[in-house]
A = this chain, B = another copy of it.
Protein backbone atom coordinates (compact mmCIF):
# COMPACT_ATOMS: atom_id res chain seq x y z
CA UNK A 1 0.00 0.00 0.00
CA UNK A 2 2.78 2.46 0.90
CA UNK A 3 6.20 2.74 -0.69
CA UNK A 4 8.11 4.31 2.16
CA UNK A 5 7.50 4.98 5.83
CA UNK A 6 9.43 7.89 7.26
CA UNK A 7 9.76 7.13 10.96
CA UNK A 8 10.78 9.96 13.24
CA UNK A 9 11.47 8.59 16.70
CA UNK A 10 12.56 4.94 16.78
CA UNK A 11 11.40 4.12 20.32
CA UNK A 12 8.82 1.64 21.57
CA UNK A 13 5.86 3.24 19.80
CA UNK A 14 7.59 4.16 16.55
CA UNK A 15 9.56 0.95 16.30
CA UNK A 16 6.47 -1.15 16.95
CA UNK A 17 4.58 0.74 14.25
CA UNK A 18 7.35 0.06 11.73
CA UNK A 19 7.40 -3.65 12.60
CA UNK A 20 3.60 -3.87 12.44
CA UNK A 21 3.48 -2.11 9.05
CA UNK A 22 6.10 -4.47 7.65
CA UNK A 23 4.43 -7.53 9.09
CA UNK A 24 1.11 -6.49 7.56
CA UNK A 25 2.78 -5.95 4.19
CA UNK A 26 1.68 -2.32 4.19
CA UNK A 27 5.05 -0.73 3.46
CA UNK A 28 8.05 -1.61 1.33
CA UNK A 29 10.74 0.40 3.05
CA UNK A 30 11.23 2.16 6.38
CA UNK A 31 13.58 5.12 6.65
CA UNK A 32 14.16 6.05 10.28
CA UNK A 33 15.54 8.92 12.26
CA UNK A 34 16.08 9.28 15.99
CA UNK A 35 17.54 12.19 17.92
CA UNK A 36 20.17 9.80 19.24
CA UNK A 37 22.26 8.29 16.39
CA UNK A 38 22.90 5.18 18.48
CA UNK A 39 19.14 4.57 18.68
CA UNK A 40 18.77 4.90 14.92
CA UNK A 41 21.71 2.57 14.45
CA UNK A 42 20.23 0.05 16.85
CA UNK A 43 16.85 0.26 15.07
CA UNK A 44 18.55 -0.67 11.80
CA UNK A 45 20.50 -3.51 13.41
CA UNK A 46 17.26 -4.89 14.82
CA UNK A 47 15.56 -4.67 11.42
CA UNK A 48 13.01 -2.17 12.70
CA UNK A 49 14.08 0.31 10.03
CA UNK A 50 15.80 -0.39 6.71
CA UNK A 51 17.69 2.85 6.23
CA UNK A 52 19.05 5.39 8.71
CA UNK A 53 18.33 9.03 7.95
CA UNK A 54 20.70 11.68 9.31
CA UNK A 55 17.84 14.11 9.98
CA UNK A 56 14.06 14.18 10.40
CA UNK A 57 13.79 16.01 7.07
CA UNK A 58 15.70 13.31 5.25
CA UNK A 59 13.56 10.60 6.84
CA UNK A 60 10.59 12.24 5.13
CA UNK A 61 12.22 12.59 1.71
CA UNK A 62 10.46 10.15 -0.60
CA UNK A 63 8.03 8.96 2.06
CA UNK A 64 4.32 8.59 1.37
CA UNK A 65 3.58 7.90 5.05
CA UNK A 66 5.28 9.53 8.02
CA UNK A 67 4.97 8.66 11.70
CA UNK A 68 6.13 11.15 14.29
CA UNK A 69 6.71 9.14 17.47
CA UNK A 70 8.46 11.58 19.80
CA UNK A 71 7.58 12.97 23.25
CA UNK A 72 4.62 15.32 22.63
CA UNK A 73 6.54 18.50 23.45
CA UNK A 74 8.92 17.70 20.57
CA UNK A 75 6.07 17.52 18.03
CA UNK A 76 6.19 21.14 16.91
CA UNK A 77 9.95 21.24 16.31
CA UNK A 78 9.75 17.92 14.50
CA UNK A 79 6.96 19.03 12.19
CA UNK A 80 8.75 22.32 11.50
CA UNK A 81 11.87 20.38 10.57
CA UNK A 82 10.02 18.32 7.95
CA UNK A 83 7.58 20.93 6.68
CA UNK A 84 9.40 21.68 3.41
CA UNK A 85 8.98 18.13 2.20
CA UNK A 86 5.37 17.66 3.24
CA UNK A 87 2.95 17.26 0.33
CA UNK A 88 -0.84 16.84 0.12
CA UNK A 89 -0.30 13.22 -0.94
CA UNK A 90 1.57 12.37 2.21
CA UNK A 91 -0.09 10.94 5.32
CA UNK A 92 1.54 12.22 8.50
CA UNK A 93 0.48 10.89 11.88
CA UNK A 94 1.66 11.08 15.45
CA UNK A 95 1.03 8.69 18.35
CA UNK A 96 0.89 11.22 21.17
CA UNK A 97 -1.18 10.70 24.29
CA UNK A 98 -2.38 14.32 24.27
CA UNK A 99 -4.10 15.89 21.32
CA UNK A 100 -5.08 19.55 21.86
CA UNK A 101 -1.43 20.60 22.16
CA UNK A 102 -0.41 18.41 19.26
CA UNK A 103 -3.10 19.86 17.00
CA UNK A 104 -2.02 23.41 17.85
CA UNK A 105 1.62 22.49 17.28
CA UNK A 106 0.74 20.99 13.89
CA UNK A 107 -1.19 24.10 12.84
CA UNK A 108 1.74 26.33 13.74
CA UNK A 109 4.39 24.09 12.25
CA UNK A 110 2.78 22.80 9.07
CA UNK A 111 0.62 25.83 8.22
CA UNK A 112 -0.81 25.33 4.70
CA UNK A 113 0.30 21.69 4.72
CA UNK A 114 -1.55 20.84 7.94
CA UNK A 115 -4.19 18.92 5.95
CA UNK A 116 -1.75 16.02 5.58
CA UNK A 117 -1.58 15.57 9.33
CA UNK A 118 -3.98 13.14 11.01
CA UNK A 119 -3.52 13.27 14.81
CA UNK A 120 -3.64 9.76 16.22
CA UNK A 121 -3.56 8.21 19.67
CA UNK A 122 -3.24 4.44 19.75
CA UNK A 123 -4.29 3.31 23.23
CA UNK A 124 -1.44 1.01 24.04
CA UNK A 125 1.92 1.11 25.73
CA UNK A 126 4.38 -0.77 27.81
CA UNK A 127 6.18 -0.10 31.04
CA UNK A 128 9.42 -0.48 29.10
CA UNK A 129 10.70 1.90 26.46
CA UNK A 130 13.23 1.85 23.68
CA UNK A 131 13.54 0.20 20.29
CA UNK A 132 14.72 -3.05 21.92
CA UNK A 133 11.15 -3.56 23.13
CA UNK A 134 9.52 -2.75 19.78
CA UNK A 135 6.84 -5.34 19.08
CA UNK A 136 4.86 -5.92 15.89
CA UNK A 137 1.84 -6.80 18.06
CA UNK A 138 1.85 -3.71 20.28
CA UNK A 139 -1.12 -2.23 18.41
CA UNK A 140 -3.06 -5.41 17.70
CA UNK A 141 -6.57 -5.32 19.13
CA UNK A 142 -6.20 -1.81 20.55
CA UNK A 143 -8.34 1.27 20.09
CA UNK A 144 -6.96 4.18 18.10
CA UNK A 145 -8.45 7.64 18.52
CA UNK A 146 -8.10 10.06 15.61
CA UNK A 147 -8.71 13.74 16.29
CA UNK A 148 -8.95 15.30 12.80
CA UNK A 149 -9.00 19.08 12.31
CA UNK A 150 -11.29 21.06 9.99
CA UNK A 151 -8.48 21.22 7.49
CA UNK A 152 -7.52 17.55 7.63
CA UNK A 153 -7.72 16.20 4.07
CA UNK A 154 -10.46 13.57 3.74
CA UNK A 155 -8.22 11.25 1.70
CA UNK A 156 -5.49 11.34 4.35
CA UNK A 157 -8.03 10.74 7.09
CA UNK A 158 -9.40 7.77 5.15
CA UNK A 159 -5.89 6.41 4.68
CA UNK A 160 -5.21 6.75 8.39
CA UNK A 161 -8.34 4.74 9.20
CA UNK A 162 -7.33 2.08 6.70
CA UNK A 163 -3.82 1.78 8.11
CA UNK A 164 -4.90 1.34 11.72
CA UNK A 165 -7.68 -1.04 10.77
CA UNK A 166 -5.17 -3.09 8.81
CA UNK A 167 -3.01 -3.27 11.94
CA UNK A 168 -5.92 -4.81 13.84
CA UNK A 169 -7.06 -1.68 15.65
CA UNK A 170 -10.53 -0.31 16.23
CA UNK A 171 -10.59 3.28 15.05
CA UNK A 172 -12.80 6.03 16.40
CA UNK A 173 -12.58 9.78 16.31
CA UNK A 174 -13.35 12.66 18.59
CA UNK A 175 -12.33 16.27 19.15
CA UNK A 176 -8.88 16.95 20.63
CA UNK A 177 -10.52 18.55 23.66
CA UNK A 178 -12.82 15.60 24.37
CA UNK A 179 -9.87 13.29 23.91
CA UNK A 180 -7.75 15.17 26.41
CA UNK A 181 -10.54 15.36 28.98
CA UNK A 182 -11.12 11.62 28.78
CA UNK A 183 -7.48 10.62 28.89
CA UNK A 184 -6.75 12.95 31.77
CA UNK A 185 -9.18 10.77 33.72
CA UNK A 186 -8.35 7.25 32.57
CA UNK A 187 -4.68 7.44 31.65
CA UNK A 188 -2.83 10.56 32.78
CA UNK A 189 -4.29 10.52 36.31
CA UNK A 190 -3.40 6.85 36.94
CA UNK A 191 0.16 7.57 35.80
CA UNK A 192 0.38 10.63 38.05
CA UNK A 193 -0.91 8.64 41.02
CA UNK A 194 1.44 5.74 40.35
CA UNK A 195 4.45 8.10 40.13
CA UNK A 196 3.40 9.84 43.36
CA UNK A 197 2.85 6.60 45.23
CA UNK A 198 6.25 5.19 44.26
CA UNK A 199 7.97 8.39 45.39
CA UNK A 200 5.94 8.58 48.58
CA UNK A 201 7.19 5.12 49.54
CA UNK A 202 10.81 5.62 48.55
CA UNK A 203 10.83 8.93 50.43
CA UNK A 204 10.35 7.04 53.70
CA UNK A 205 13.26 5.68 55.74
CA UNK A 206 11.77 2.18 55.62
CA UNK A 207 10.79 2.46 51.96
CA UNK A 208 13.08 -0.31 50.74
CA UNK A 209 11.84 -2.69 53.43
CA UNK A 210 8.26 -1.89 52.51
CA UNK A 211 8.93 -2.49 48.82
CA UNK A 212 10.48 -5.88 49.54
CA UNK A 213 7.14 -7.01 50.95
CA UNK A 214 4.96 -5.81 48.09
CA UNK A 215 2.93 -8.38 46.20
CA UNK A 216 0.96 -8.82 42.99
CA UNK A 217 -1.54 -6.04 43.71
CA UNK A 218 1.28 -3.53 44.04
CA UNK A 219 3.00 -5.00 40.99
CA UNK A 220 0.03 -4.34 38.71
CA UNK A 221 -0.95 -1.02 40.29
CA UNK A 222 2.53 0.43 39.80
CA UNK A 223 3.38 -1.11 36.41
CA UNK A 224 2.76 2.23 34.69
CA UNK A 225 5.06 4.03 37.14
CA UNK A 226 7.98 2.55 35.17
CA UNK A 227 6.92 4.45 32.04
CA UNK A 228 9.35 6.63 30.10
CA UNK A 229 10.09 9.84 32.08
CA UNK A 230 10.48 12.23 29.12
CA UNK A 231 7.34 10.96 27.43
CA UNK A 232 5.31 11.35 30.62
CA UNK A 233 6.85 14.65 31.67
CA UNK A 234 5.54 16.02 28.37
CA UNK A 235 2.12 14.43 28.72
CA UNK A 236 1.59 15.73 32.26
CA UNK A 237 2.57 19.24 31.15
CA UNK A 238 0.73 19.13 27.86
CA UNK A 239 -2.57 18.14 29.44
CA UNK A 240 -1.94 19.98 32.67
CA UNK A 241 -5.28 21.76 33.14
CA UNK A 242 -7.46 18.70 32.54
CA UNK A 243 -5.16 16.54 34.64
CA UNK A 244 -5.08 18.93 37.58
CA UNK A 245 -8.88 19.10 37.45
CA UNK A 246 -9.07 15.29 37.52
CA UNK A 247 -6.59 15.15 40.35
CA UNK A 248 -8.70 17.59 42.38
CA UNK A 249 -11.80 15.44 41.88
CA UNK A 250 -9.77 12.38 42.81
CA UNK A 251 -8.46 13.94 46.02
CA UNK A 252 -11.99 14.95 47.03
CA UNK A 253 -13.17 11.38 46.53
CA UNK A 254 -10.18 10.05 48.43
CA UNK A 255 -10.91 12.40 51.31
CA UNK A 256 -14.54 11.28 51.37
CA UNK A 257 -13.38 7.70 51.83
CA UNK A 258 -10.92 8.79 54.49
CA UNK A 259 -13.72 10.55 56.35
CA UNK A 260 -15.77 7.39 56.42
CA UNK A 261 -12.70 5.58 57.78
CA UNK A 262 -12.13 8.23 60.44
CA UNK A 263 -15.75 8.15 61.51
CA UNK A 264 -15.71 4.38 61.52
CA UNK A 265 -18.73 4.52 59.22
CA UNK A 266 -18.61 0.87 58.20
CA UNK A 267 -21.64 0.99 55.95
CA UNK A 268 -20.62 4.13 54.05
CA UNK A 269 -17.16 2.67 53.55
CA UNK A 270 -18.53 -0.63 52.31
CA UNK A 271 -20.89 1.20 49.94
CA UNK A 272 -18.04 3.23 48.45
CA UNK A 273 -15.84 0.18 47.97
CA UNK A 274 -18.77 -1.75 46.50
CA UNK A 275 -19.34 1.01 43.94
CA UNK A 276 -15.69 0.90 42.91
CA UNK A 277 -15.53 -2.88 42.93
CA UNK A 278 -18.67 -3.40 40.87
CA UNK A 279 -17.72 -0.72 38.36
CA UNK A 280 -14.32 -2.27 37.85
CA UNK A 281 -15.64 -5.83 37.76
CA UNK A 282 -18.07 -4.94 34.98
CA UNK A 283 -15.60 -2.87 32.97
CA UNK A 284 -14.11 -4.49 29.89
CA UNK A 285 -11.30 -2.86 27.98
CA UNK A 286 -12.67 -1.30 24.79
CA UNK A 287 -15.98 -3.07 25.19
CA UNK A 288 -18.42 -0.19 25.34
CA UNK A 289 -17.42 2.34 22.77
CA UNK A 290 -18.30 1.81 19.13
CA UNK A 291 -16.62 3.71 16.32
CA UNK A 292 -18.71 6.72 15.41
CA UNK A 293 -17.22 7.09 11.94
CA UNK A 294 -16.27 10.55 11.00
A206 CB contact (under 8 Å) in B145, B181, B261:
B181
Interface residues on chain A, size class: 35 or more
Q: How far is the CA of A199 from the CA of B52 in the complex (A)?
A: 48
Which of A57-65, A100-108, A120-128 touches B?
A120-128
Closest to A243 in B: B261
A287 touches B (CB below 8 Å): yes
Q: Given the known inter-chain contacts A197-B193, A210-B186, A246-B200, please indicate yes or no for A219 contacting B285, CB distance below 8 A.
A: yes
| Smallest CB separation, A122 vs chain B (Å) | 9
A269 touches B (CB below 8 Å): yes
Q: How far is the CA of A187 from the CA of B254 in the complex (A)?
A: 16
A220 CB contact (under 8 Å) in B143, B182, B213, B221:
B221
Which of A24-32, A81-89, A152-160, A231-239 touches B?
A231-239
When distances are taken between beta carbons in the complex, the residues of chain B under 8 Å from A227 are 273, 277
Q: How far is the CA of A287 from the CA of B280 in the complex (A)?
A: 30
Closest to A228 in B: B277
Q: Given the known inter-chain contacts A240-B262, A262-B240, please indicate yes or no for A279 contacting B202, CB distance below 8 A.
A: yes
A274 touches B (CB below 8 Å): yes
* A228-258 interface bits toward B, Cβ cutoff 8 Å, 1 = contact, 0 = none: 1110110011001001101101111110011
A74 touches B (CB below 8 Å): no
When distances are taken between beta carbons in the complex, the residues of chain B under 8 Å from A275 are 198-199, 202
B190 touches A232 (CB 8 A): no
Q: How far is the CA of A218 from the CA of B182 in the complex (A)?
A: 12
When distances are taken between beta carbons in the complex, the residues of chain B under 8 Å from A258 are 244, 247
A288 touches B216 (CB 8 A): no
Q: How far is the CA of A128 from the CA of B222 in the complex (A)?
A: 19
| Smallest CB separation, A139 vs chain B (Å) | 11
| Smallest CB separation, A292 vs chain B (Å) | 11
A196 touches B (CB below 8 Å): yes
Q: Which residues of A contact B (CB under 8 A)?
A: 123-125, 127-128, 142-143, 145, 181-183, 185-187, 189-204, 206-230, 232-233, 236-237, 240, 243-244, 246-247, 249-254, 257-258, 261-262, 264, 266, 269-270, 272-277, 279-281, 283, 285-289
Could you list 20 examples of A-B contacts with CB < 8 Å? A183-B213, A185-B204, A186-B210, A186-B218, A190-B197, A195-B273, A196-B254, A199-B272, A200-B254, A214-B285, A220-B220, A220-B224, A225-B280, A226-B280, A229-B277, A236-B257, A236-B261, A236-B269, A240-B262, A251-B254
